[in-house]
Amino acid sequence: GAVVSQHPSRVICKSGTSVKIECRSLDFQATTMFWYRQFPKQSLMLMATSNEGSKATYEQGVEKDKFLINHASLTLSTLTVTSAHPEDSSFYICSAGRLAAGNEQFFGPGTRLTVL
Amino acid sequence: QKEVEQNSGPLSVPEGAIASLNCTYSDRGSQSFFWYRQYSGKSPELIMFIYSNGDKEDGRFTAQLNKASQYVSLLIRDSQPSDSATYLCAVNPGNAGNMLTFGGGTRLMVKP
């Protein structure tokens, strides 16, 4: 149990285009979903937290108009990188939280974004 | 600033040895503690969590928690080359749902 999918796994796009990444919890309802970014050889950086039906909470320094998050249901959240630029190239990882004994987060497989 | 600290490593151990990974945290009110493993180029996967003082064992892995010392560790017995990865310690403050604060990770290398 506790499987999280993420799509696409890899995307290459031209500068100025927008890219949408989907995150789904497949076998449980996620009370909260999280979006992280990770640059090579660096640690995870939390970008935003989203709860179903409400606006996402963004971490300091993360532009909410550039990284649009929609949490449409208890099993689906999307991250749209608008007007992507080469500096947005990174590994984007979502996670889904399950309220259980340990309040675990389960991670999707990640999306590697390359902006040319 | 609530912090989770880990030695970045690399920690190098020979195959078959015990690998000991350590983590300290600053928020004394933290309730639950997690260890994730992350292979290069992959996303983190949950190994185990602990929320009571003492030891918790799962196969070759043992998590140890000492809330008084604000210290959590992960022991890996009979280390295998396939255990070579970065191990992330994460802490849940207990009043923020599933929110986790991550340490920077310790890179473990198990040499055949």
Q: What is the pLDDT of residue A4?
A: 95
Tell if the CB–CB gap between B44 and A102 is shorter than 8 Å.
no
Per DSSP (E only), the strands in A1-53 are 4-7, 10-13, 19-25, 32-38, 45-51
* Residue B75, both tokens: 């022991």
Tell if the CB–CB gap between A43 and B103 is shorter than 8 Å.
yes
Q: What is the pLDDT of residue A45?
A: 93
Q: With bands split at pLDDT 50, 70 and 90, how would you rate the model's confidence at A31?
A: confident
Q: What is the DSSP letter of B97?
A: T
Q: With bands split at pLDDT 50, 70 and 90, how would you rate the model's confidence at A29?
A: confident
For A37, name the nearest residue in chain B, comparing CA atoms only. Answer: B43
Q: What is the pLDDT of residue A94?
A: 97
CB atoms within 10 A of CB B107: 18
Q: Is the pLDDT of residue A101 over 60?
A: no
Beta carbons of A71 and A50 less than 8 angstroms apart:
yes
Q: Is the pLDDT of residue A1 over 70?
A: no
Q: What is the pLDDT of residue B25?
A: 96
Test mutation, B3, B4, B43, chain A, max A CBs within 10 A = B43
Q: Alpha-carbon distance B109 to B36, whole Å?
A: 16
Q: With bands split at pLDDT 50, 70 and 90, how would you rate the model's confidence at A30?
A: confident
Phi, psi of A79 (to 5 degrees): -120, 125
Q: What is the pLDDT of residue B2?
A: 67
The pLDDT tens digits of the residues spanning B97-107 come to: 778 999 999 99
Among residues of chain A, what percentage have pLDDT more than 70?
96
Average pLDDT over all residues of chain A: 92
Q: Alpha-carbon distance B52 to B42, whole Å?
A: 30
Q: What is the pLDDT of residue B26?
A: 94
Beta carbons of A70 and A94 less than 8 angstroms apart:
no
Q: With bands split at pLDDT 50, 70 and 90, how would you rate the model's confidence at A98?
A: confident
Q: What is the pLDDT of residue B53?
A: 95
Which residues are within 8 A (CB) of B27 and not within 5 positions of it... i.e. 6 or more apart?
B2, B91, B93, B101
Long-range contacts of B25-28, Cβ-Cβ distance < 8 Å, separation of 24 or more: B25/B70, B25/B72, B25/B89, B25/B91, B25/B101, B26/B1, B26/B2, B26/B70, B27/B2, B27/B91, B27/B93, B27/B101, B28/B67, B28/B70
Distance from CA of A69 to the nearest CA of B (A): 17
Low-confidence ranges of chain B (pLDDT < 70): 1-2
